[in-house]
Amino acid sequence: MNTLSRPAVRATLARHIPLYRWYAPGYQIAMLEALAAIWEGPHARLLDIGGGTGIIAQTLQEHLPSGRVTSIDVEDRFLPGLSIETLTYDGLKLPFADASFDAATINNVLHHVPVANRKALIAEIRRVVRGPLYIKDHLSCGKLDDARLAALDWIGNTPFKGMIWAQYLDEAEWQALAAHGGYRIEQGPNETYRRGPYALLFPNRLETVMKWTPAS
Flag whether 84 is in a domain.
yes
Flag whether 94 is in a domain.
yes
Flag whether 49 is in a domain.
yes
β-strands 133-138, 103-107 pairing: parallel
78-102: b (≥16 Cβ within 10 Å) or e: beeebebbbeeeebeebebeeeebb
- Number of structural domains the chain divides into: 1
Flag whether 208 is in a domain.
yes
Flag whether 1 is in a domain.
no
Flag whether 88 is in a domain.
yes
pLDDT confidence of residue 165? 78
Flag whether 53 is in a domain.
yes
Q: pLDDT by residue (tens digit) across 25-47?
A: 999 999 999 999 999 979 999 99
For residue 72, give its domain range. Answer: 6-214
Please, is 177 exposed, middle or buried when counting C-beta atoms within 10 Å of its C-beta (0-12, 13-18, 19+)?
Answer: buried
pLDDT confidence of residue 136? 97
pLDDT band at 161 (very low <50, low <70, confident <90, very high): low
CATH number, domain with residue 63: 3.40.50.150
In this prediction, residues 105-124 reach a mean pLDDT of 96
